[in-house]
Amino acid sequence: MCGRIANTLPSDAMAQLFSATPANNLPSVPNFNVCPTTGIHVVMGADPNSADSTRRLVQMRWGFIPHWYKAPNDGPLLINARAETLAEKPAFRMACRERRCLIPVTGYYEWTKDDAGKRWPWYIHSDAPLALAGIWQDWSQGGENLRCCAVVTIGSNIKLSQIHHRMPVVIAQDNWDLWLGEQGHGAARLMQPADDDLLSFHAVDPKVNSNKASGPELIEPFE
């Protein structure tokens, strides 16, 4: 799964990297402890109702809200969506066909438990920013309107299975257009675990367990 992320890339650099037009209300970066239900950077394809064919870098709520929810907290918090059942689940099946997105991150956190039940955090990252596979939708009830998203996950590769049995789907740069629907059909084949050599991980300070923790020291190796 993916329950906390870090994003340290400036918004203008993200826009340039993804060839996207940035919105005016993007979240503040760097943020070394991005939590669910907060706003995150998301790359969408071009607006089909506009003559502009440029991708868009926007803010979305991290936490997918099914259309039948009466309120954002009307059911389970859906921050992740399993790739194996994405096309079948009523909450996700239309989004996986029509509303796929990319979620830029510098890295993400995962946790293990020791024999005493204490949770120990790990920071998982690469040498370059990552583009996580995502799905999104617009939710509206009683005058409240939210654009929301979830990270698509898959069973972990051999390397990451040491700390967790699931991992986000990472989309390689030469497949961004396919995942965003700019190159027709075939995005389903991208929902695979990343190669073992793409990601690295190290233990980090347990203070990241608090959603109030902040600062660059959160991603530093911890002994």
- Within 13 Å and on the Cβ side, how many CA atoms surround 43? 28
Q: Write down the catalytic residue from 35, 88, 96, 110.
A: 110
Give catalytic status of residue 98 as yes or no: no
Give catalytic status of residue 35 as yes or no: no
Q: Write down the catalytic residue from 2, 96, 148, 149.
A: 2
3-state secondary structure the chain: CCCCEEECCCHHHHHHHCCEEECCCCCCCCEEEECCCCEEEEEECCCCCCCCCCEEEEEEEECECCCCCCCCCCCCCECEEEHHHCCCCCCCHHHHHHCEEEEEEEEEEEEEECCCCCEEEEEEEEEEEEEEEEEEEEEEECCEEEEEEEEEEEECCCCHHHCCCEEECECCHHHHHHHCCCCCCCHHHHCCCCCCCCCEEEECCHHHHCCCCCCHHHHCCCC
Nearest-CA neighbor of 221 among 208, 213, 211?
208
Positions annotated as catalytic residues are: 2, 110
